[in-house]
Every structure is written in structure tokens, then in C-alpha cells.
Chains A and B, each alone.
Chain A
Amino acid sequence: MRRPDLHRNQKIAAYLFVSPAVIFYSLFFVFSVVFSLYISFKRWDMLVSPFTEAKWVGLENYRYLLAEDELFRKVMKNTLVYAFGSVGLAVSTALVLAFVMSRLKGAAVFRTLYFLPAVTTVVAIANVWRYLLDKNNGVINALLSSMGLPRQPFLESPEQAMATVLLVALWSGMGGAILIFSAGLQGIPEELYEAGRIDGAGTLQEFRHLTLPLLRPTILFVMVTSFIGGLQAFALPLIMTGGGPVDSTRVLAQYMYETAFQNMRMGRASAMVFLLFVIILIVTLIQLRVFRRGGVESY
């Protein structure tokens, strides 16, 4: 008769062990999300009680953002360009580089060099690149000038600023993706490549018909996490350009922050949070659907 008691006691002990994490998660995540959703239906400046004094406005915050706020639409476009741009560039470049490095001796040295920006603080990266790219006194423009090429405004041009920030984001974020792809490539049996070579496949064909399909789960992981990171980008554009010039690099996370803490519109900022959540969810579901098959196990 002791056996059922022991099982029940083990279950109780297990729940007790996980309860600190559950309580922490409930307080700092579940409560925050529910409260944020509640606030998104109110007009609240954080200076009065959110429950008794903040005005209930229903869907007005959402309506204003989607129908009236020109800046929100511009910022949304910037965020999508940043996310798709950084993912597209980072994933494709990292994949090619990881594949090439897997064929080289001393690949560990290259991986380390590419990974170094990933372990550097984004504040330092942003500030250093800001000075390098300065229109009048930057090193890059000095180089262009010395080669007889025209100086470029880079971060001072609404047309060039976003592309410039994207390239810096690519440089700083590529290392992590290369590392993950390298690990994924090592999981592909060498015999498959040998079999391919025997059948006359060249490097490009190996990459297209072997590497890509077998690496699908890894690509999916990198794309999903990169997209989520890209859609939530904040520090790099903020420090490099402050969101300018003329809002050309202002992304949603920065606009949310300004709406909440400078404009004192916490309700509207919360509505932006949930709109961003919906976008991230849609993009992630599409990726999961597209990449649902693949990998070494499924072949």
C-alpha cells in the first residue's frame, strides 16, 4: 500500500520544486502580459491609478495606430524592412560562409573572428561605427575620398541610413548564425557528400541538393530566432541614428518606448506591443509551415 503514497509524495515534491519558477514566471510574465493587454484598452499616463482613474477607451488605441498614425505605419515598415533585411542577409551570408569554412583547414580561426562582434557590447559597436561612418570626419569617407570616390552621407541620409544600419547589424549578428550553421553542418554525415561526389555532384550541387534540405531544421531555428530578434531590434538603430534622419531608421521598439515614456501614453504603447506580437506570431507560423519538413532524420 506504500507505493501510491510514494508516487503522490513524489508528485507533490516535484510541484514544490518547480513552484518558484512558476511563481516567478506568473508574476513577471503572465501578470505583465495580462496587465499590458488591459492597459491597451485605456488611456494611461502612468501618473494616475490604472484601475480607477485611467480612462477606458476600448479599441481606440488600436484604431488610432492602424488608421490615423502615419508615423506608426512608417515605423512598422522600417521594422519589417530591418527584420526581413537582416534575416535575409544574415541567414544567406552565414550559411554560405559556414559551408565554405567547413571545407577549409583552420576553420576555427575564421569562426572565432566572425563571432567576435557577437560578444562585443552593442553600444560599443554602434558608437564605433557611427564615428567610422561620419559624413564629414569618418574614416570610411576619408578612404572613399582618397580613392577619388564621392563621399557618402550614410547615417545622415534618409535614403542610406537604414541600409547602413542593416549592414552593421549583419556584421555584428552573423557570427552567431555561422556558429549554429557550423554545428548543423557537422551533423550531416560525410557519406552523403561522398555518395554525391561519386555521382558527379560539384560543390554547388552538393550545397543545393544536400546541404540545404538536410539543414532545414537548423535554418528554421536561425530564421525564427533572427526574425524575432529583428522585429524587436532597439539598441543598434537607437544608438547609431536615434531613429533619424527623419524617422528613416526608427523601429517599433523605439517608437513604443517613446510613446510610453516621453509622450506618456502607456495605453497606446501597450497596443503597439500586441500588434507586434500578432506580426511575430504570423511570421513565425509561416516559417514553421514552410520549413516543416526536412533534416537528416526525415530523409
Chain B
Amino acid sequence: MRRFAGSIAAVLSVLLLLAGCGTKPAASPAPASEAPKAEAPKAPTPVVLRVATHWGEGFQDKLEPYLHEYTKLNQHVTFKYESVPFDEYLKKVQVSHTSGDAPDIYHVYSLWGVQLSRSKVIAETPPNISTLVKDQYTPAAVGGVTIDGKVWGIPTEINNYMLIYNKRLLKEAGFDNPPKTWEEVYTVAKAVTKKKADGSYEQAGIAFLKGWDSAVVHPWMALLLTEGGQFLSADNQTVRFNSAEGLSALDFQVRLIKEGITDPSLNGLGMFPTGQLGMIIMAPWWEDTLKKAMGDSFQDVGVAPVPVGKSGKPATVAYSWFWGVSNLSKNKDEAWKFLQWLNTAQQEGTKGGRMGQYLVSVGIIPGRKDDLEAFPDQLNDVFTKPFIDAFAHTVAEPNIPQGQEAKTALMREIENAWFDKKTPAEALKAAEEQFTKILKEAN
């Protein structure tokens, strides 16, 4: 034991000796004959900005050139791009924030915005950014990024819903134009639907999206709005969708299912590109997928407003995303500076921004007004232009706390009605109860 202690003492002594030898010599005073030199400006501290989005293959390689361009102009800033699948993105935000290892810049789905802002996951926007957003973005885009009266980021994509239809199938069934009203949808869908002898669908007139909450809820919301209904009250505190209009919208879907014109089992996203589906209510980001899957047959694709119900007025719903900066970021100023550069005009005298250019290149509609004018070739095509024209009567999905949970509860009840587990009235009543409970608890 004594020998061991002695060895430890010897090692420590050597270490202390080495530490002592390593000290810097005292600075020698400057010679009296030299004039004091002016201090050179300090080089900016190198910064690595971590950017996390749900844009992966096919999108990432189109966005990254702008990051490289920024680095060329601001050499102290480099980027680390993190692509996280949409299904995993909210988990990524939760876990990275809890662990303290958060990216600097998030790409946030607006529905999560309330929770993230109230929990201080995302930082408040600086005043100049708030002004930029309010001045330069469409009302639907500004609505998507406004929470509790404040702007919390810079809008990016905005997706509303329209009726996408197969012109060839409609023409074969005797219709040169898409339906404008719900009754016309019924007539057209019935005529287009063909079944085989064993009852399976050879082609279907219409299909409703399923599989995730937005897929089920958003098209139904679009129908609710065209019927003249409201989703929530203006202050987002009271449920309004359990109304005559809401019931009418759900009854319409259930009627199509009960009469065999459509079926909840149909995979609309798979059937439409293969020319087996007449109509579907879908968002504009699908354009790129359809072009790749359909090839020359893409010319059969048409886009029309969501057919109107009793109100006779066109309407549709939109959801959006925005850039937010993490509250844990040590580089907030640099992050906002980069985002401002990305989202303003590329050159003086021009309108288009880099973010707008990226979004249109991947078939996504930007929320910035000047971007909508700056890229006519991409945005004025027969697929995208109707979506943009519909912004005039697009209602943004409301930003509410526990929004994902509430929307999932509504999805469940809509599906209960589709599968005849509940009547539409029972389903909407149950949805209202759950929605109200969630809103009350969260507020």
C-alpha cells in the first residue's frame, strides 16, 4: 500500500512539474521607439448553423445550393443540414430540445406552433422579421405563422386543397367539365365508377384520403367550408364544426361510401397516378409525384375548385409551414440574418427570393406575395395556377394548442362514420366533445 501511494505521489509531482514548465513567458514591453499599431478588425467567429427540415430526397439537393451560396458570401458561416422524415419530425423537436442539443433552425408545421411557442422551443421573431412577414406574405401564410397575436417565424410552404381529376376518365363517362357542386360530384363519380364481376373496383369515381389526420380532416374541412360552415370560432376557443354544415359534409361522404361509389379501403394516392381514379381532393405538393408517376398521362390531370355545397361560395382550407429559430440556439442573430437573406429578393429591383425559387422548383407554392409574381413559368402552369387563384378564398387551418391531438380525435370520428360504427351525427358530437375538452385543458 505504501509503495502504491509513493508511486501516485511521484506521478503527480511529474505532472505538476510539466504544467509549470508549460506556462507562457511574461510579455515583454514594446520598445519605446515604435508607435502603437491600430487594432485590425476582429474576424467574425466561425458559426455552424444546423438546419433541420422534413425535406429529404429530391428536395434536399435543391435547397442545399442556397446554403452553399450563403457560405460563399459569409465565409464564417457553414451549415449542417439534417433531414428528418415528417413522421419523426415532432419527436426530433421534443427530444433535441429536451436534451439541449437542438438545431439552430427548425422547419415547423404550423399546427405544432402553439405548443412550441408556449413552451419556448422556438424564439420570438425580431421586430424586423415580423414586419417583413406581415408586409410581404399572403394573409393565409401570415395566419399560419401568427400565434397569440405574434409572428413566430417566416412562412415557407402553403398548401391548400383543390379537386384533382382525370380528364380522360370523366370524358369517357360523358363529362367534358369537372363537377361544380356536390350533386354533380355524386353524378360524375357514380358514372365513372366501374366494378368487376366480383365486386372489386376496376376504377373509382372518387376516393377520400386516409392514413393520417390531415389526409382525412382537411378534405372534409374543405367540404364544410364550401357548405358555408365554420371550423372554430374566431378566437379558436369554441367548436363550430358540429353544425348542420358539418353534418351535411360528413353525410355526403358517407352517402358515397354506402352507395358503393367509393370505399374507405381505396388507396387514392396509388390509384390516381395509374388512371384508376376519377377525382380526389388533394394539395399542390403532389404535382411532382404525379408527373414522375404518370409521365405523358399527366396531361390528363385537371385541377378545379372544391365543388360547392349549399353556400354556393368557393372555399378551401390550407395548412402551412414556417422557419423558426430554436430558443436554445447560440447563433440566433446569424440564423435570422440567414433566413432573412433566404426569404427576400435575390437582387435589387427583382421580386423573386431564393426560398421562393426553391419552393417552386419542387412544386410547392410559396407564401410570399412577390414570389407568386416572380415565377410565372412554374406557377402559372395548368396544375398550380388554380391553387394560387384559390388563395382568395382559402382559410388557414387554425393554430391551437394540442392541435395534433385534437385533429387526430376528429379524424377518428370521421372514420367511425365512414365505417358505419357511428352515425355522422354521433361522430360529430363525439368529436366536438373531445375537441372541446382538449381546447379547455390546453387553454
Contact = CB atoms under 8 A, between A and B. Distances in A.
Contact of B116 (A47, A135, A245, A263): A47
Contact of A46 (B94, B198, B263, B419): B94
B211 A262 contact: no
B412 A47 contact: no
Contact of B90 (A71, A246, A261): A261
Interface stretch (B136-144, B365-373, B402-410): B402-410
Query: Which bucket holds chain B's interface residue count?
Result: 20 to 34
Nearest to B94: A46
Contact of A158 (B119, B404, B421): B421
Given A46-B94, A245-B264, A245-B415, A262 B405 contact: yes
Given A150-B198, A151-B199, A263-B408, A47 B121 contact: yes
Contacts of B412: 71, 246-247
A246 B419 contact: yes
A262 B411 CA distance: 14
Contacts of A242: 211
Contacts of B116: 47
Contact of B200 (A135, A245, A246): A135
Contact of A262 (B120, B121, B265, B408): B408
Given A47-B119, A47-B121, A263-B402, A246 B421 contact: yes
Given A136-B201, A263-B402, A245 B419 contact: yes
B91 interface: yes
Interface in B258-272: 263-266
Interface in A36-90: 45-48, 71
A117 interface: no
Interface in A142-181: 145, 150-151, 153, 156, 158
B266 A45 contact: no
Contact of A261 (B91, B115, B120, B201): B91
Contacts of A47: 94, 97-98, 115-116, 119-121
A288 interface: no
Interface in B90-139: 90-91, 94-95, 97-98, 115-116, 119-121
Contacts of B402: 263-264
Contact of A246 (B120, B211, B416): B416
A153 B265 contact: yes
Most chain B C-beta atoms within 10 Å of own C-beta, residue among A150, A153, A264: A264
Given A47-B97, A47-B119, A151-B198, A136 B416 contact: no
Interface in A195-209: none
A65 B196 CA distance: 46
A141 interface: yes
A294 interface: no
Nearest to A262: B404
A263 B421 contact: no
A155 to B, nearest CB: 8
Contacts of A48: 119-120
A244 interface: yes
Interface in A212-243: 242
Interface in B196-240: 198-201, 210-211
A187 B266 CA distance: 52
Contacts of A145: 198, 200
A242 B198 CA distance: 27
Contacts of A137: 200
Interface in B52-94: 90-91, 94
List the 8 shortest-distance A-B pairs measured between CB atoms, nearest first.
Answer: A156-B265, A47-B119, A263-B405, A46-B94, A145-B198, A261-B91, A136-B200, A135-B265
Given A246-B412, A264-B405, 8 more contacts: A46-B95, A136-B201, A151-B200, A156-B263, A242-B211, A246-B416, A263-B404, A265-B405
25 contacts: A46-B98, A47-B98, A47-B120, A48-B119, A48-B120, A135-B200, A135-B263, A135-B265, A136-B200, A136-B201, A136-B265, A141-B200, A145-B200, A150-B198, A244-B415, A246-B415, A246-B419, A246-B421, A258-B408, A261-B91, A261-B94, A263-B405, A263-B408, A264-B405, A265-B405
